[in-house]
């Protein structure tokens, strides 16, 4: 069980929740602030003054005053009417992360919900009740309304949820888990669906997967360097310290460590007629380092957002005030930045694949890395696949944050598009893991051709893990399962563990 402290939860905790499926609860110390805000909302709901979202309609209908007796109906209608999401269901780990982020936001004590609402989310996480949340329908302001409405629908016994692997009504899932639906009070529906937790959860997943892919790219690039008998001179520490970028310096250091002891490298340190390697080998620290810096920048933004209060209105010292924290522009920018890093990591990796299969550039490796070219095509079309995925990722990297459109009768006249900006990161990371998996296959094949010369111990350890799933390529064979297996080793961190590579964001 993870105990989350509102305002101070770390990305490490959130990644553990997402990867390992552990339940989470708020630090009980948050309750006093939550109860105080809920009491303020209750007083406002019983008063005569119009307070947005408490005793009024929503959005363009904010001028319509709602009688105290209709408060529960107002909140239920809000949830049901906003359940307009379409598309496939959000994956369970990401949905659970979204729920945890909602806990953190409500736990700051500015949303005005009762503690029993928080307790229900905690219980759903602990007992494995996961709302079915369609992934399409949010424009990232006024919050992720449709996705969060589907989450909330399950909490009130409507909508759908997953429980023990079965999809059923929200009411049935709660009942099967021994839980009761909540009857929403004043502002509670708005507090639950107004916020950036859907977009932020998907951006965090994109960050977590992207960081792992980036570290894998350091291993595959080192394998490729040895495969084409490239130089390690461009990894010289002073080169990178003279430029000064943290990511570049750390990438160069990691690559030096990974390649230390390579017999292949030592075999051509002297007397090599080549003066310089192509940029995809020589400039890996500059490109991967810049990507690392971008991911760290996005991580800083997303850690703040994960702990933020993003609904509206908010209970603050001056009263219950309408603002705009639901606007997900910071998340949209972070997602666009992550997308750039992913696209460029894949672009330079793909060029290394192309380098290795080209006999004019690979320093005497056979065409397409097959021992019998002509009769066999080797990795010819595997390289084409990486080119296709690289191009797809370039297209997906185009910014989403610049594509605003007015909604809700022009009341919400500028939106962030953070939701699909973050959602596309999943596809990009999947594509990138395949590119890197193919690079690992090609580079390992190239290194095998250098026998009896051997690569470094760390890189050999990574190759050994790969060879358990994909033996060296002799005669042509059905490659799709091996490409998937190599991609899976990238995604699950097996190569990182084998090479003992770890760099913290």
Catalytic residues: 52
Give the relative orientation of helices 115-127 and 145-155 as an angle to the nearest 10 degrees.
Answer: 80
Q: Which residues of 258-292 are buried (b: 16+ CB within 10 A; e: fewer)?
A: bbeebebbeeeeeeeeeeebeebbbbbbbbbbbbb
DSSP 363-421: TSPPGGG-SSBTTB-TTHHHHHHHHHHHHHHHHHTS-STT----BTTTTB-----HHHH
Q: What is the largest CA-CA distance in the chain?
A: 88
Residues 6+ apart with CB under 8 A from 284: 218, 221, 225, 251, 255, 348
Q: Please name which of 187, 198, 69, 204 lies closest in space to residue 140, comparing C-alpha atoms.
A: 198
In SS3 terms, 41-88 reads as HHHHHHCCCCCCCCCECCHHHCCCECCHHHHHHHHHHHHHHHCCCEEE
Distance CA 403, CA 296 (A): 24
């Amino acid at each position: 069980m993870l105990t989350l402290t509102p305002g101070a939860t770390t990305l490490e905790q959130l990644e553990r929740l997402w990867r390992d499926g552990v339940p989470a609860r708020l630090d009980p110390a948050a309750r006093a602030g939550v109860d105080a805000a809920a009491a303020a909302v209750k007083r406002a709901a019983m008063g005569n003054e119009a307070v947005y979202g408490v005793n009024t309609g929503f959005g363009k209908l904010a001028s319509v005053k709602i009688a105290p007796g209709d408060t529960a109906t107002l909140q239920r209608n809000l949830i049901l009417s906003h359940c307009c999401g379409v598309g496939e269901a959000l994956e369970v780990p990401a949905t659970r992360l979204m729920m945890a982020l909602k806990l953190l936001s409500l736990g700051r004590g500015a949303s005005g919900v009762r503690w029993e609402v928080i307790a229900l989310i905690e219980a759903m996480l602990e007992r494995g009740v996961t709302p079915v949340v369609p992934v399409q329908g949010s424009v990232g302001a006024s919050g992720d309304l449709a996705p969060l409405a589907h989450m909330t629908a399950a909490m009130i016994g409507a909508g759908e949820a997953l429980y023990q692997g079965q999809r059923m009504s929200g009411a049935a899932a709660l009942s099967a888990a021994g839980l009761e639906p909540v009857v929403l009070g004043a502002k509670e529906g708005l507090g639950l669906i107004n916020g950036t937790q859907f977009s932020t959860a998907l951006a965090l997943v994109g960050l977590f997967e992207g960081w792992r892919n980036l570290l894998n790219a350091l291993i595959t690039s080192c394998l490729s360097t040895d495969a084409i008998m490239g130089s390690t001179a461009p990894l010289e520490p002073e080169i990178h310290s003279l430029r000064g970028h943290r990511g570049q310096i750390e990438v160069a250091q990691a690559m030096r460590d990974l390649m230390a002891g390579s017999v292949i490298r030592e075999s051509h340190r002297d007397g090599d007629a080549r003066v310089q390697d192509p940029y995809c080998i020589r400039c890996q620290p500059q490109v991967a380092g810049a990507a690392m810096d971008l991911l760290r920048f996005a991580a800083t933004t997303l850690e703040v957002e994960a702990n933020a209060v993003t609904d509206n209105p908010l209970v603050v010292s001056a009263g219950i005030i309408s603002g705009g924290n639901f606007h997900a522009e910071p998340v949209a920018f972070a997602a666009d930045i992550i997308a750039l890093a992913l696209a460029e990591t894949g672009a330079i990796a793909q060029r290394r694949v192309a380098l290795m299969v080209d006999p004019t550039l690979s320093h005497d490796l056979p065409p397409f890395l097959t021992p019998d070219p002509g009769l066999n095509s080797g990795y010819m079309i595997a390289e084409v696949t990486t080119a296709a995925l690289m191009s797809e990722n370039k297209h997906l990297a185009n910014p989403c944050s610049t594509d605003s459109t007015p909604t809700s009768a022009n009341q919400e006249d500028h939106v962030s598009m953070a939701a699909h900006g973050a959602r596309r990161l999943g596809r990009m990371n999947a594509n990138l893991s395949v590119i890197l998996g193919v690079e690992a296959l090609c580079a390992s094949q190239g290194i095998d051709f250098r026998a009896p010369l051997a690569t470094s111990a760390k890189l050999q350890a990574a190759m050994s893990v790969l060879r358990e799933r994909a033996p060296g390529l002799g005669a042509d064979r059905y490659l799709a399962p091996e490409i998937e297996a190599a991609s899976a080793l990238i995604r699950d961190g097996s190569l990182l563990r084998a090479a003992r590579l770890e760099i913290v964001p």
